[in-house]
Amino acid sequence: MGRKQSLSRASARKQPRRVLVVWTEGEITEPAYVNALKKLEHVRANTALSIRIAPSHTVPYPLVDGAIEQARDGDVDEIWCLMDVEAPRPHPRLSETVALAAPHSKVHLAFSNPCFEAWLLLHDRDLGAFLTTADAVRAAQALDGVNGKHVDAGQFVARRADASMRAQKLRRRREKDGAVFPDDNPSSDVDLFLAAVEAPPDNVRVETRPER
């Protein structure tokens, strides 16, 4: 009898899974990476992850606008927007995009500069010199686990701690140099997204970059 009561109390204390929606510009690489995260046991236990792929050629501002609309859904705990800056010609209205999201506590932005491939490269090496989008894509194509448009996302997710460490070190260096968004090439905020995804449900604290 005592054991049944104990189990009942434990069940009652169990935290519900957080509902986290990920909006992406990319149709292949970013969704593959998020799907690999979904397979991690602790993520499956704590977080219900779903993916929304923006229509082709959508730039950050309308993507975030759509995310804000979805944030009104009371069943959604957080929305993360994984977006590129692009280089040498950045996407339009990037500062406006950041300002658009700022008042909405559920909506979080994770930019990669110039593109998500910079985040993939951080799984393998430190980054320093300016990268164009074409440079980053070309370098990523040479990585183990990348074959054309196919990415062995599980192989990268297994090394996410190294990538996060490098992203944090790169962010500190950019801040020390006074390089502010969107002129902080190369950089990536995907480590902040990972921290949110992997946080225990009763210990969620979203990290963000300093005010842009």
The whole-angstrom separation of Cα 65 and Cα 42 is 31
Question: How much is the pLDDT for 15?
Answer: 62
Whether 129 shows a pLDDT value over 70: the answer reads: yes
CB 69 within 8 A of CB 98: no
Quick count: other Cβ atoms within 10 Å of Cβ 50? 11
Residue appearing with tokens 């280089």? 87
> Which pLDDT value is given to residue 10?
44
Residues 147-202 have pLDDT tens digits of 988 999 999 999 999 999 999 999 999 999 999 999 999 999 999 999 999 988 66
Tell me 200's DSSP state: -
Task: Residue count of the chain, please give it.
Answer: 212
CA-CA-CA-CA dihedral for 158, 159, 163, 165, to nearest 10: 110
What span, in angstroms and rounded, lies between the C-alpha atoms of 181 and 94? 9
Tokens of 205: 């604290």
Residue 117: per-residue pLDDT: 97
pLDDT in tens, 37-80: 999 999 999 999 999 998 877 899 999 999 999 999 989 999 99
Alpha helices in the chain (DSSP H): 2-13, 29-38, 41-46, 60-71, 94-101, 116-122, 133-141, 153-157, 160-177, 190-198
pLDDT of residue 200: 82
Q: How confident is the model at residue 203 (pLDDT cuts 50, 70, 90)?
A: low
Domain assignments of the chain as residue spans, ordered by start:
16-198
The sheet that has 18-24: what strands, in order across it? 47-53, 18-24, 78-84, 107-113, 187-188
Please tell me the predicted confidence (pLDDT) of residue 209. 53
Question: Class of 16-198 per CATH?
Answer: alpha beta
**Measuring CA to CA, how many Å separate 204 from each of 10, 68, 119, 170?**
20, 20, 23, 24
